[in-house]
Amino acid sequence: MARIEWRLLRVIAAKEFRERLRNRWVLAVALVFAVFALTIAYFGSAQQGMVGFHGIDVTIASLVSLVIYLVPLIALILGFDAIVGERERGSLDLLLSLPLTRAELLLGKFLGLSATLALSTVVGFGLAGVALAVQGQGTDALLHYAGFVLSAVLLGMSFLSMAVALSVITTDRARASGAAIALWFGFVLVFDLLLLGALVTVGDSPLGARVLPYLLLLNPADVFRVLNVFGFDSVKVFYGLATVFPDTLTSPWVLGGVMLAWIVLPLGFALWRFRQ
């Protein structure tokens, strides 16, 4: 197996990035994120009869659901045609005839798309962060917020990784987009419903209570939720869930590691299949 030439990764990543700056993808997504984030940060507590910016923990708790719905969707849209799109437009054979390896092509694309997504996310949610800073939140609160944005980027990368895997195993863009939508439904909507169902059915049994929380690790969206919601005592109380959660699961290091695995494993699978 040939050694990876980093220069080539950079060339491919830079082209992906520049294309999406050029077609205003980055701008459009950053705007969507910013508008939703500011709106939710401001009106998020309306149910409690208040509007305006509040404590950082409450704001983050309000934004978590937004991120879970929006970021995976955007990441899947961004990545589903990474390889299958090149295949369909006839440029994949051309790229593969060049002095570069399949690993370089795939990783270069992933890095470029990751940078694209990261920039949109940081700019979009960063604007809401600026609004919070102007409200006079302390340094600690802003660090928390930065951690939240970082974890949103990681969540996006995990879905991007799955999207790239889809784009390797599908034969045309239509199938790839269908599969991407199915993936979104599965992880963002269906998974939690199934888990809730299981909780109702077997949650009272000692085994069920012990096993169910770990099932959350099988879904990067839930890993993100746990990472951001159960990291803060005040929010834990707010969700009334403080007691059912094992401590190992609330360690940011464990959760961060699981999130990284959700980025690396689908990408590794994609690479393996792409080499066949």
Q: Which pair of tokens denotes residue 267?
A: 């990408």
**Angle, CA of 27, 65 and 180, to the nearest 5°:** 65
Coil/strand/helix, residue 210: helix
Stretch that binds other proteins, among 16-24, 110-118, 149-157, 188-196 (CB under 8 A): 16-24
Burial (CB count within 10 angstroms: exposed 0-12, middle 13-18, buried 19+), residue 214 = exposed
Is 22 a binding residue for other proteins by CB under 8 A? The answer is: yes
Least separation in angstroms between CB 103 and other proteins: 13
Return the residue of 99, 136, 206, 240 that touches other proteins, per CB under 8 A.
99
Residue 33 near residue 121 (C-beta atoms within 8 A): yes
Under rule CB under 8 A, which residues in 223-242 are in contact with other proteins? none
> Taking the alpha carbons of 74, 79, 80, 85 in that order, is the dihedral positive or negative?
positive
**Half-sphere exposure (CA, 13 Å, Cβ side) for 209?**
8
Size of the site for other proteins (CB under 8 A): 20
Is 210 a binding residue for other proteins by CB under 8 A? The answer is: no
Is 115 a binding residue for other proteins by CB under 8 A? The answer is: no
Return the residue of 6, 46, 51, 91 that touches other proteins, per CB under 8 A.
91
Q: Which pair of tokens denotes residue 136?
A: 């006079």
Return the residue of 28, 35, 94, 190 that touches other proteins, per CB under 8 A.
94
How far the first Cα of the chain sits from its last, in Å, is 13
Least separation in angstroms between CB 254 and other proteins: 40
Stretch that binds other proteins, among 14-22, 49-57, 121-129, 197-205 (CB under 8 A): 14-22
Q: Which is nearer to other proteins, 24 or 210 (CB)?
A: 24
The candidate with the shortest Cα–Cα distance to 228, out of 62, 112, 116, 117, is 62
The footprint of other proteins (CB under 8 A) covers 2, 8, 11-12, 15, 18-19, 22-23, 89-91, 93-100
